Amino acid sequence: MEEEWYHYGEIRWCPRQIIWILKHAEQLDAGDYPAPFLLSGGSSQIKAEGYFVRPEIIIAELRDRLRTTPNQGELLITQVEDGRVLGNLSPGAYEILMYVKGSRRKRIPFNRWRREIWGKSKPKEVKDHGLRTGKTPK
């Protein structure tokens, strides 16, 4: 099975991409984009930023989002580092992931979001839209 890979321009902050970013956090911190990123050669355009800026922007944005959650998202970070994937995250880590996902940061604090939005958005069974199981609901 081929490992997922996302180009900088493809980052849309969906759950799978957030897990991918966390898996490559150390590399992104170092200013390196995970392979197979290739810098396009031969362009006559002047780059406004160094090659290391974009990876650092990605990991900094995710860390800023995680800072707004309990214990700065350590539960999610630890589980991803332990090799867990989207389908087998604990309920707490899954909630954190759902809070930090999305193209924009949430304006509502985590605990209020959890109580008012997350709690109402799911019935007695968790709506996962196929994210946790990998299967699309019928």
pLDDT band at 43 (very low <50, low <70, confident <90, very high): very low
Tens digits of per-residue pLDDT, 119-131? Answer: 877 655 555 555 5
**Average pLDDT over every residue of 43-48:** 46
Tell me the pTM: 0.76
> CB atoms < 10 A from the CB of 20, how many?
17
Q: Is 57 exposed, middle or buried (0-12, 13-18, 19+ CB in 10 A)?
A: middle
pLDDT for residue 53? 74
**Average pLDDT over every residue of 58-63:** 95
Domain ranges (residues) in the chain? 8-36+52-121
